[in-house]
Chains A and B, each alone.
Chain A
Amino acid sequence: MNCKRARAAISLFLDERLDPTRQARLNRHLERCPDCAAYLRDLRDGLAMLHEQPEAEPSPNFDWNLRRKLQRAALEREIMLQRPARVSFWPRFAVGAAAALAVCVVGVWLLYDEGGTVRAPLVRPGIPAVTVTPGDSAADGAGFASTPGRMPDQYRSHGTRVQAVDGRTGGLISDGGARGAVQADDPYNAVPLQGARADSAAADSVTPPGPTP
């Protein structure tokens, strides 16, 4: 038996959990190992001092504070029992995510048509919407980007092909190839100016705007 095993055996010996065979081996080791013999002696003395320590008493308020805590805990439990069962996080998250996705899909579907053109959302009945066709700038051949965005300033004064689209049906009302300027910054709300009238009267008459003089 080496010293490491002997000290593990000493711990079991102090608890009277050592079988007779191992105890005999430990005794033989202790006879010829003064370090382990000192270890056993110190441990016995130290633990004896430990066991002599008197028990400490809790404060005189202990029982009163305990009763207060019990009352509070009982009250909290009652409140918890009255509260309706809370739906766990994941079902609520799934419903929220599905709703957000649905809103996104509907929003994208409303903003884009199949051809990739930006449709002005002038959906009031009877008022034509205006569609700006990409790549058809009459002035310099540069077109609008097909994605919605702010209209670059250099295009404001130049002519642009303007289409009149029925706000209700989404059908093309006119495509005069007119060279009209578009005033609005936002292509969503582009309003034709020169010769490309998009007011209600123009929509009613479905008259393509004439060429700029």
Chain B
Amino acid sequence: MTRDWHQKQADAPRSDESLILAVQEGDKRAYDELVRRYKVRLYNFLLRMVANPELAEELTQDALVRAYLNADKYRTIARFSTWLYTIAINLVRNHARRRRRSPVFRMPLVGRDDGDRREMEAPDTSRMPDSDLESKEEREHIQQIVMLIPSHYREPFVLREFHDLSYEEIAAATGLKLGTVRSRINRARSHFREHWVARFRSDDAALEGGPLR
């Protein structure tokens, strides 16, 4: 009975937190396991934040390198995933700051029919899985709509909608107050709904109930 229990314990997947504590002790296999668990999740988060696969991949690698180098700074008061997202968010913010100082080519996109023009980077969806052309187009449109949400609203929105983080975890990862997280998610959803309706709802009547500012 006891032997079975020990066997079960040995077979049970280790928690992220126990793995990062093992990394602090110099366990490189534990780090490899964390990379295996988080690389796709982190990559998708960053892809939705920057809409550029090469850049998203680079930032994902940078976040994982930072997590390794600063593993000793991790404290068990936070979940490992929250801590990792905090690192990734800081990298995105630093990148946005650098880009503001040295702007890159930007492609203007028509946001709505009323002449509202917004700017965003052309999303490169070449690496996205494409089952057929229609679904690929839909994915591109969704990605474009997400990118039309202002970045300070987009951060908590993506963490909530794609990564299922709780409001408290988002507050911890972004450094925002809980009330700010709540209102930013609400505003981001309002933006998302506005652009989603404009793109996917042929029924113009749906536009009448536009979001409140």
Among B158-212, those with CB < 8 Å from A are 160-162, 167, 182-183, 185-186, 189-190, 192-193, 196-197, 200-201, 206, 208-209, 211-212
B-chain residues with CB within 8 Å of residue A4 when the two chains form the complex: 212
Bound CA span A67–B160, Å: 30
Q: Which of B41, B142, B182, B185 contacts A49 (CB 8 A)?
A: B142
Bound CA span A70–B189, Å: 38
Q: A56, B129: Cβ atoms under 8 Å?
A: yes
Report B's interface with A, CB cutoff 8 A.
35, 39-41, 43-44, 47, 53, 56-57, 60-62, 64-65, 68-69, 127-129, 138-139, 142, 146, 160-162, 167, 182-183, 185-186, 189-190, 192-193, 196-197, 200-201, 206, 208-209, 211-212
Q: B61, A42: Cβ atoms under 8 Å?
A: no
Q: Which of A11, A34, A49, A50 contacts B209 (CB 8 A)?
A: A34
Q: A56, B47: Cβ atoms under 8 Å?
A: yes
Q: A56, B62: Cβ atoms under 8 Å?
A: no
The answer to whether A58 and B43 touch (CB under 8 A), given A38-B206, A53-B139, is yes
Q: A8, B183: Cβ atoms under 8 Å?
A: yes
Chain B min CB distance to A72 (Å): 9
B-chain residues with CB within 8 Å of residue A17 when the two chains form the complex: 167
Q: B161, A8: Cβ atoms under 8 Å?
A: no
Chain B min CB distance to A135 (Å): 61
A-B contacts besides A11-B185, A56-B43, A66-B61, 11 pairs, CB < 8 Å: A12-B186, A42-B193, A43-B189, A49-B142, A50-B146, A53-B139, A54-B139, A56-B127, A57-B43, A58-B40, A66-B39
- Can you pick out 18 interface pairs between chain A and chain B where the beta carbons lie within 8 Å of each other? A3-B212, A15-B185, A35-B208, A38-B208, A42-B206, A46-B193, A46-B200, A49-B138, A50-B192, A51-B161, A53-B162, A54-B128, A56-B127, A57-B43, A58-B127, A59-B127, A63-B39, A77-B69
Dominant secondary structure of chain B at its interface with chain A: helix
Q: A43, B193: Cβ atoms under 8 Å?
A: yes
Bound CA span A70–B192, Å: 38
Q: B209, A12: Cβ atoms under 8 Å?
A: no
Chain B min CB distance to A73 (Å): 5
Chain A min CB distance to B69 (Å): 6
Among A23-68, those with CB < 8 Å from B are 34-36, 38-39, 42-43, 46-47, 49-51, 53-59, 62-63, 65-66
